[in-house]
Structure 1
Amino acid sequence: MNSKKFGYLYVLLAVAIFAGQDAFSKILGEKYPPIMVTMIRFWAFAAFVTILAAAAPGGIRAAASTKRPILQVLRGLLLVGEVVVVVIAFTTAGLAMSQSILQVTPLMVTLLSVPLLGERVGWRRGLAVVVGLLGVMVILDPLDVYFDLRLIIPLGASLLYALYGIATRAAGTSDSAVTSVFYAGVVGALAASAIGPFFWTPIAIEDWPAMAALCICGATSHYFLIKAYSHLTAVEVQPVTYLQLVLSVVLAVLVFDERLTPNMIVGAVIVVGAGLFTVWREHRREPLQTQLAGSGEQGDP
């Protein structure tokens, strides 16, 4: 098996595990405070990135060495905030609806990169962003008399993750991939631990397997995605990650008995199509830099 085949195998494993992670997040988020679920999940994530850093050249000291400490801390805060909001979204707006809306994140990154990173966006990518946002409007269906304001929650999660992606790009110009992953896990765990204990709720014995599965999914999904980026470029990985939407929708329908609507399907197709076009145009424009601006940190955190 050649290098690229290994890469695609790793990204497929990561995407499948991310979908399972979403399902466990929804199950636990319906029973326990989202910040508590996030805190436990980040404890496992912090342990994983610490082991990863210790095994890297230079060890933990090298991983903790950063030229952008404030930016790295901000990344960790944005990530933990996004995870809390997305767990809330899964339990209120539904898994299928939330994942459909979350696909707009790459387009938001493109849009925000202009004012925040000073990047130039040509008319083709600009048009793709507009089309993608129209796709989100189709998903939300605001003209429907039954429009639910809770659908704004996954849109907020998408905005937070887009800001996290922008911060990751900026940090990637001076810090290594290992450093970025290390700070995301450790800072996120510390931030969640500062608030989570106030919402602590005893976990029922029957729910510990789901909690353990969530923690394992959080670590293994990032591991396989990082491995994928060691064999593939970001532009090769990104299209495959959209399979997570398909898998999450299947789980939403079969496990949680959620209902798909025509506007969700049509809107998701529009958003994904616009996102794929944006990734292709960016690849044509210039080589993508930091692969970790994708690597353990694209997809669902």
Structure 2
Amino acid sequence: MHSTTAPSNLTGIAMMIAGMACLSVNDALAKTLTQHYSPIQILFLRNLIALPVALVVARILAGASGLWSTRPLVHFMRGGLWVGATYLFFTSLTYLALAESTALAFVAPLFITALSALLLRDPVGWRRWLAVLTGFAGVVIAIRPGTAAFHPAMLLPVGTAFLYALMMLSARLLDPRESVWTLLLWLTLTGTVLGGILTPLVWVPIRPGDLHLFLAIAVVGTAGVTLITQAFRLAPAVVLAPLDYTALIWATAFGWFIWSEIPDTPTMIGASVIIASGIFVIYRESRAATR
């Protein structure tokens, strides 16, 4: 068993790291595009381009039944939360360094744990509650409210994390027999529909030199989600979940290389506290699941 499991884990780890790299490229492209376009327009065009790919993937990997759902309203509710989360994050990139927005959004697993206890009455022990509170303390360290370093846009990635947590928890309202590819298809579809409704309000003609950026953001965004999804099919979540934080490495590298952004010391200290708390929560939840 070890000979088959270990290679599977290694492949999953490689896919997870590659997927996070793709999503970091996605964010870097979004930051570039927000200089000229509304986040809503960027989100709409990204989903519009990615929708045919998501449709084909769902049809091939989940079959004809993977294109439909018995609870479309739940899917649209989740899609609305996802659009809201992405809009807040893309907007934050207009004002903040890429690594800064990425680090603050890492509070999402802590929101998931807290909301699962408060809304769904899931049992959460004192150790996880302590980790959650410690993680939120890391957010305070990073954003430094009441000081000259604080910018209101720092709250946007935190809002992203909150909406993302609600979206993840709302998956419990769906039929558990639905394929993950069905979920991804409906998220892309909802993003396209909602974006199509809102984009005319903020539409800016696309400059010819930016067409390749919109195509690229759709490709890398779809590739990132696909790689991460496949990774979780090959390796245990407890192995892969901490690798989510490799996005901060990519974000820091891209921010430094493209915009000469270097996160300051309080931001890195706060990010370290948030990441350590998130990893501890993941570890404790895996222990609870095993028991």
Q: TM-score, normalised by structure 2?
A: 0.93
Matched ranges for 1:40-119 at <5 A: 40-59=45-64, 62-119=65-122
Amino acid at match of 1:134: A
What's the CA shift for 1:169? 4.1
Residue 205 (structure 2) aligns with? 202
Residue 19 (structure 1) aligns with? 24
Is contact 2:97-2:263 (8 Å) kept? no
CA distance in 1 between counterparts of 2:288 and 2:16 reads 24
Cα distance change on mapping 1:117 and 1:179 into 2, 3 Å: farther
Percent identical pairs in the alignment equals 27
CA distance in 2 between counterparts of 1:228 and 1:204 reads 36
> Per the alignment, in what secondary structure is the counterpart of residue 230 of structure 1?
helix
Cα distance change on mapping 1:287 and 1:74 into 2, 3 Å: farther
CA distance in 1 between counterparts of 2:108 and 2:62 reads 33
What's the CA shift for 1:88? 0.3
Residue 298 (structure 1) aligns with? none
Residue 3 (structure 2) aligns with? none
CA distance in 2 between counterparts of 1:29 and 1:100 reads 19
Runs of 4+ in 1 over 6 A off after TM superposition: none
Matched ranges for 1:158-169 at <5 A: 158-169=161-172
CA distance in 1 between counterparts of 2:148 and 2:29 reads 32
Farther off after superposition, 83-92 or 171-180: 171-180
What's the CA shift for 1:175? 3.1
CA distance in 1 between counterparts of 2:52 and 2:266 reads 41
Is contact 1:89-1:154 (8 Å) kept? yes
Q: TM-score, normalised by structure 1?
A: 0.90
CA distance in 2 between counterparts of 1:200 and 1:2 reads 48
- Which of 9, 26, 42 aligns to 2:14? It is 9
Amino acid at match of 1:279: I
Farther off after superposition, 158-167 or 15-24: 158-167
- Which of 250, 273, 298 aligns to 2:253? It is 250
What's the CA shift for 1:53? 1.4
What's the CA shift for 1:72? 1.5
Cα distance change on mapping 1:266 and 1:169 into 2, 3 Å: farther
Cα distance change on mapping 1:169 and 1:243 into 2, 3 Å: farther
What's the CA shift for 1:94? 2.6
- Which of 124, 133, 136 aligns to 1:133? It is 136
CA distance in 2 between counterparts of 1:145 and 1:92 reads 15
Question: What is the root-mean-square deviation of aligned Cα atoms in Å?
Answer: 1.8
Structure 2: which 5+ runs fail to align? 1-5
Is contact 2:9-2:236 (8 Å) kept? no
- Which of 275, 279, 282 aligns to 1:276? It is 279
What's the CA shift for 1:13? 1.0
Farther off after superposition, 1-10 or 190-199: 1-10
Farther off after superposition, 168-177 or 276-285: 168-177
Matched ranges for 1:105-254 at <5 A: 105-171=108-174, 173=176, 175-254=178-257
Q: Are 1:265 and 2:268 an aligned pair?
A: yes
What's the CA shift for 1:90? 0.9
> Per the alignment, in what secondary structure is the counterpart of residue 272 of structure 2?
helix
Structure 1: which 5+ runs fail to align? 289-301
Residue 293 (structure 1) aligns with? none
Amino acid at match of 1:254: F
Amino acid at match of 2:242: P
Is contact 1:7-1:228 (8 Å) kept? yes
What's the CA shift for 1:214? 0.6
Amino acid at match of 2:214: M
Give the count of matched residue pairs: 286
Is contact 2:252-2:262 (8 Å) kept? no
Farther off after superposition, 215-224 or 141-150: 141-150
CA distance in 2 between counterparts of 1:216 and 1:243 reads 20
Is contact 1:171-1:180 (8 Å) kept? no
> Per the alignment, in what secondary structure is the counterpart of residue 242 of structure 1?
helix
Amino acid at match of 1:37: I
CA distance in 1 between counterparts of 2:111 and 2:212 reads 35
Which of the two has greater helix per residue? 2
CA distance in 2 between counterparts of 1:212 and 1:57 reads 26
